[in-house]
Amino acid sequence: MHLDAKIYVAGHQGMVGSAILRKLQNAGYYNFVLHTSAELDLREQSAVQQFFEIEEPQYVFLAAAKVGGIHANNTYRAEFIYDNLVIQNNVIHQSFKTGVRKLVFLGSSCIYPKYAQQPIKEEALLTGPLEPTNEPYAIAKIAGIKMCQAYNAQYGSNFISLMPTNLYGPNDNYDLENAHVLPALMRKIHEAKVKGEEEVEIWGTGKVRREFLHVDDLADACLFLMNSYDKPDIINVGTGKDLSIYELAMLLKSVIGYKGRLRFNSSKPDGTPRKLLNTSLINQMGWYPKIELREGIQKVYGEYEKKHLQIY
């Protein structure tokens, strides 16, 4: 991908899209076509068609999606399947129609079966039932993967699919109703510290294990794979390390400086028992993450404090 290539980052204001844009800018790319969701609703087929026909981007990073944590996924099941299907259908199809040279589609580790063998290899896809709480989102993402593969097979497109693990970083969502586990816990523990509360309630048993990747590392992997990976097979992007939610909460407690207790509410859902990605494929290509979890959390918490995102 030449530095003057015309690049469309779909979802450039979100956590993932903004990280990809930062990475590209830092690497010397400058010819971007960008539209906010208010300017271009990717759910509107005719609007997406018109956009691609007028702008004719050469490369596309499809980071636009409706995302959220376990509560949001389980509550807004219809929106999670509809919005994600329509967004990716429109962008992938118009990328084909207008001759986009290469597209990076971002999936999710939740595409894998709930009880997949750990660490999860790419070939585990469609080998067992999904986690029920996020099944609509996972099915939409699986459809996106299969759509990219179908266009590659039938038309010779170069549409690749990355499966990132749980992400965190700048521009994350801290809404307690809809956020993922790390930002939600960060906000809850921070607010408990500020308010002088003696206890923080955390959903689930604390025993389930999760892997966390800083979004800047994902952006680095996106550019790396855009420039070096041309296979239709999906490829995992993660750290290869996980920890329990209890360990994550204790790490956040330490970074934030909270002195109170953590209480785990086992009546609330845990989700998938473990979700650790096997990253041997991308590691064999020479890519590894650079940001350690404590370092990443310290940086993110510093940014969170500065922006005064807490709401009392």
Please tell me whether 69 is known to bind a ligand: no
Dist CA 42 CA 58 (whole Å)? 18
Q: Which residue has the tokens 């469309």?
A: 8
3-state secondary structure 240-294: CCCEEHHHHHHHHHHHHCCCCEEEEECCCCCCCCEECECCHHHHHCCCCCCCCHH
Q: How many CB atoms lie within 10 A of CB 168?
A: 19
Please tell me whether 11 is known to bind a ligand: yes
Q: Are 48 and 42 in contact (CB under 8 A)?
A: yes
Please tell me whether 106 is known to bind a ligand: yes
30 is annotated as an active-site residue = no
Question: C-alpha distances in angstroms, 293 versus 9, 95, 228?
Answer: 26, 35, 26
Which tokens hold the place of 78?
């219809």
Please tell me whether 108 is known to bind a ligand: yes
Please tell me whether 83 is known to bind a ligand: no
Please tell me whether 203 is known to bind a ligand: yes
Please tell me whether 109 is known to bind a ligand: yes
Please tell me whether 190 is known to bind a ligand: no
Please tell me whether 100 is known to bind a ligand: no
Please tell me whether 165 is known to bind a ligand: yes
Please tell me whether 4 is known to bind a ligand: no
Please tell me whether 167 is known to bind a ligand: yes
Catalytic residue, chosen from 29, 59, 112, 137, is: 137
Please tell me whether 16 is known to bind a ligand: yes
Please tell me whether 141 is known to bind a ligand: yes
Please tell me whether 33 is known to bind a ligand: no
- Find how far residue 237's CA is from the centre of its chain: 10
Q: Residues marked as binding for substrate? A: 188, 203, 210, 270
What is the set of active-site residues?
137
Q: Residues marked as binding? A: 11-17, 106-109, 141, 164-167, 180, 188, 203, 210, 270
Q: Residues marked as binding for NADP(+)? A: 11-17, 106-109, 141, 164-167, 180
